[in-house]
Amino acid sequence: MSRILENKKVLVTGGAGFIGSNLCEKLLTQNNHVVCLDNFATGKRENIAPFLSHENFTLIEGDIRNINDCTKAVDGVEVVLHQAALGSVPRSIKDPITSNEVNVSGFLNVLIAARDNGVKRIIYAASSSTYGDSTNLPKVEDVIGKPLSPYAITKYVNELYADVFAKLYDMQIIGLRYFNVFGRRQDPDGAYAAVIPKFVKSLINHESPTVNGDGTYSRDFTYIDNVVQANELAATTDKLNAINTVYNVAFGERTTLNELIGYLQRYLSDFDAEIANVEIKHGPERAGDIPHSLASIAKAEERLGYQPKYNIKSGLKEAIGWYWENLK
């Protein structure tokens, strides 16, 4: 399915972040006017630097916790792609208050601003963390467990608010439960960096990456272009049974951390043969982590026409050149 979002005014909250900046980039190639709202708490100015001179790109430096910033950002907008959030399970465990302020109160502000300014279609970043302690594999959208972290609670509350707003205010709201997204512009630094860029940077520096646990935990790693595709399909669908619901956004395969390390060493060795010999260290399991994650993408395939192009291997092959150039 190649349905794309074009010729619209689109707000991307968190547009300077990893996923948001990739959405901005794609949308600008399709004759959209893109408004980026970001406070640069986790977003990077360099992610959007190439767009600042584009005639169809508008940057609003603001915070979703401020309703006035949200109201300014939605002015004249037809579609909202809401990516702004404080991610990371460990960060939410350390500081649940800020995670709640951004992810819950901020989300509510975006919904209110959209409602009051006549914006009907909102696509928001949900999370696979919502599945919590459910041991069912693969994960299907209507079977979830109890949340295992404050972050997971915030993302589930997003889904509850979205459902209520859709019903009460005649809005079209779609949640995308992302599964371990990776790719270009993903930040390897900081205490809460995602695992793939963190591992890559360690390997490039000939340092031993630390795997939490014995490496048998598995994830459904999802390349960024699959996520961009899902956002566009959700933003443009006109099927009644496709709106006001949530979808898994993944590839539908799981990879253990040990397998992931093996792929990274193999592909990075094309640039530096010594990387194949870097020792891998194992540390304690991380609090709040679920052992295994695997998505069923049948619902997104059927209702949205979602057809992810990149599995873990092809996605890493696409990303590895960017990692090498930008993380070394």
For residue 94, what are the contacts with CB-CB under 8 A and spacing of at least 6? none
Residue whose tokens read 């709106």: 243
Sign of CA dihedral 315, 321, 327, 328: positive
Beta pairing partners, 215: none
The tokens describing 11, both together, are: 């707000």
The tokens describing 61, both together, are: 């430096």
The tokens describing 199, both together, are: 């591992």
Within 10 Å of residue 288's Cβ, how many Cβ atoms? 18
Cα three-residue angle 215-220-225, rounded to 5 degrees: 130
Per DSSP, the residues of 251-285 read -S--EEHHHHHHHHHHHHTTT-GGGGG---EEEPP
**CA trace torsion 276, 181, 17, 48 (10° rounding):** 70
First to last CA, the chain: 36
Identify the burial level of 181 via C-beta atoms within 10 angstroms of its C-beta, where 0-12 means exposed, 13-18 middle and 19 or more buried. buried
**CA trace torsion 115, 118, 123, 127 (10° rounding):** -10
Q: Is 323 a catalytic residue?
A: no
Rama region for 132: left / alpha / beta (φ>0; ψ in -120 to 50; rest): left
Report the alpha-carbon distance of residue 290 to residue 275 in Å, rounded: 29
The active-site residue, picked from 131, 151, 310, 323, is 151
Q: Tell me the backbone φ, ψ of residue 312, rounded to 5 degrees.
A: -60, -40
Residue whose tokens read 């890559």: 200
Report the alpha-carbon distance of residue 120 to residue 266 in Å, rounded: 46
The residues carrying an active-site annotation are 151
